[in-house]
Every structure is written in structure tokens, then in C-alpha cells.
Amino acid sequence: MGSAKIIDISHAEMVFDTKKGSFHALADVNLSVEQGEFVTLIGHSGCGKSTLLNLIAGLTRATGGVLLYGGREIAGPSPERGVVFQNHSLLPWLSCYENVYLAVERVFGAREGKGKLRERTQAALAMVGLSAASAKRPHEISGGMKQRVGIARALSMEPRVLLLDEPFGALDALTRAHLQDELLRIVAETGSTVVMVTHDVDEAVLLSDRIVMMSNGPAATIGQILQVRLARPRDRLALAQDALYMDYRASVLEFLYQRQPRRAA
């Protein structure tokens, strides 16, 4: 992990205008992410995790505070910050290859020939193990494969930061575990900085260098940050019996349990 800040968030606020009036989603959020770091955002539903990720992506503008990427204010989306959503958002009429190629062409098409663009597309699909499925359309592949195409598309743009919004949340347990392992491998190969939203405590501990625990909304903020000092590469089977892993897991569960939303009577 590097020592240079790539993302720096200072006193970020987010207020949405709704039909019922103003909704204060985020309040006084302060967070820095270093180059090469893997950070997860965790908390109960409605705590602003995805809102914060969208602010980093530049998909939404903060109503207060400052968000910097590489020392410059985040003013909108950028290929340097690749995003993967829980809904893969693939174009159904295009093949896996064409979905990735579209992103490659948009970022590199003005300065590279078609041969180089094809190489980039094929390399991204190979990285997620989908070379053999490149000609298939989204309806012809599984949910896990669709998510891998989404990750390939984001990686094909060679982002400095990979932003993941619960990309494995809708998958079965075995597929999810496989893609978590794939993500660990890819991040180790590329050295990417990652910010990931998750509801899954085990996923957060397995993947993270730091776990950012959000308080409940409205006016959600960062309640606690946990440094995960587990050696890499990480083996999920070995970690299942690791005392330090279990301590981290218990710490996150305790935080979430203490802030469990009250149920209406």
C-alpha cells in the first residue's frame, strides 16, 4: 500500500430535495484513501454508503464540503474512476466483447488504432476469465459472468480507482466467494485502488485494508474505521480459523449491532 492520498474527502455533506422536503443523507464525512488501498464502506441500509460512492465517482455533486481526486476537485465522472454497480448495466443487444470494447473505444479511441483497442478488450476479458464467452450476449450468461463483464469493462479503462457498489450482492454464496477471490487476484495484479460498498461483514474483512463503518441515517457519517492487518495474499479457508480475522469480524458485527435501526411498533 502506498502513502500518497489519491482520494481526500473533507466535511462532505449531501442533502437531497424530495417531494417530502429536504433529506440530509450525509453529514461531515471525512475520509482519505491512499494509492493501492482497498477500502470497504459498510453499514445498515440507508446509511449513505452508495451516496458516498457516487460522490467519489462524480455521479453526484456534494452540497457541502470538498472531495478531491489526485489533489483536484471531483467535478464529474472520469475514466480514472471506474464504477461497477450491483446491476451490471450491460447493453443487452451487445456481446460481452462489444460491451467492453465500447468503453475501451470511448477512452482510448482518439489516440489508438482498432488493433490496439481490440487487444485492450481481449486482455480485460482474459483477466476476468471470460475469453471463451466473449461472443455471448448478456442473456446467454449467468449473473456471476455478467458481473465479471462489468468488472472487465471498468478495468479496460485502466482506472486508477475502482469503485464497486455491492457488485456481488445479488449472487449466490459460491459464486460470490469465487468472484471475491477473483477480485483479490485482479487487484494484486493491477495495483488498483478500490473503494467498495458492501453489506457483508465477511466480505469486508476478507478484502479490506480498512473498513469504514457508517452510522445510520439521516445525516449519516463515519462512525468508526477499522484497520485490517491481515497479510496478503489472503486465503479464505485459512482465515476461517484465524483468531485475528475473527476479532475483526466481531468488531464490525458489534458496531452494526449497536446501531441496529429501531423497528416501528
Please give the share of the chain, as a percent, with pLDDT higher than 70.
96
> pLDDT tens digit string along 102-114?
999 999 998 899 9
In the chain, DSSP assigns E strands to 5-18, 21-34, 38-42, 64-69, 72-73, 81-85, 161-165, 193-197, 210-214, 222-227
- By the 8 A CB rule, do 191 and 36 touch? yes
Q: Name the phi and psi angles at 45, rounded to 5.
A: -55, 140
| Confidence band, pLDDT 50/70/90 cuts, at residue 262 | low
Interior/surface letters 64-90, b for 16+ CB within 10 angstroms, e for the rest: ebebebbeeebeeebeebbbbbbebeb
CA distance 30 to 71: 15
The CATH class, in words, for 1-80+160-167+193-265 is alpha beta
Q: How many CA atoms lie within 13 A of 183 on its CB side?
A: 31
- Where exactly are the structural domains of the chain? 1-80+160-167+193-265, 83-158
pLDDT at 265 over 60: no
Round the average pLDDT of the chain to a whole number and report it. 91
Name which of 183-197, 214-228, 249-263 the model is least confident about: 249-263
Taking residues 157-185, report their average pLDDT. Answer: 87
Task: Bin 71: left if φ > 0, else alpha if -120 < ψ < 50, else beta.
Answer: left
* Model pTM above 0.85: yes
